[in-house]
Structure 1
């Protein structure tokens, strides 16, 4: 591989690796939100008070929204750094 090819290929490979790792972290953090969803549905069958279910549902939504937002921010920052490195 020539030095010229390496200069534009390296940022693409870094972006791909960072995207993969970021996706795995997103999935790991999303699992508790999915678990909360299953818990809420299970507790509904046990006649748990509505307020408790509402709090758990709220926490589930907040966890998933924050996780997704931070994932998008991470991908945008990583893409910006990759483009900046490619055109340097």
Structure 2
């Protein structure tokens, strides 16, 4: 015999908050190399490094930032979807 236990109303909100926190930490961890790459590009420009090298590094910095932001928004969207689904299941 198993009893069905109803979860508290705030359970989906707590799960979503945890997802937001973890997602933000991952976003920061992945975003830090992009910031470091930006500083590196500016330093290398000051040293007079080849413009092709600067262009490639700038492209990589931009690609990393855009990909990181897209994946973060996707992660949050899935978290919202799961929270809504969990809220609907609790009713």
TM-score range, shorter chain: over 0.9
| Structure 2 equivalent of residue 17 of structure 1 | 18
1:9 to partner: Cα distance: 1.0
| Structure 1 equivalent of residue 46 of structure 2 | 45
CA distance in structure 2 between the partners assigned to 1:5 and 1:57 by the alignment: 49
Name the structure with the higher helix share. 1
Indicate the structure (1 or 2) with the bigger Cα radius of gyration: 2
SS at match of 1:87: helix
TM superposition score normalised by structure 2: 0.89
CA distance in structure 1 between the partners assigned to 2:26 and 2:20 by the alignment: 10
Report whether the alignment pairs 1:82 with 2:91: no
Aligned residues: 85
CA distance in structure 1 between the partners assigned to 2:16 and 2:83 by the alignment: 6
TM superposition score normalised by structure 1: 0.92
Deviating above 2 A after TM superposition, structure 1's stretches of 4 or more consecutive aligned residues are none
CA deviation string 1:2-47 (max 9, x = no partner)? x6661x2111100001100100100010000000000000000110
- Uncovered stretches (5+) of structure 1, i.e. residues with no partner: none
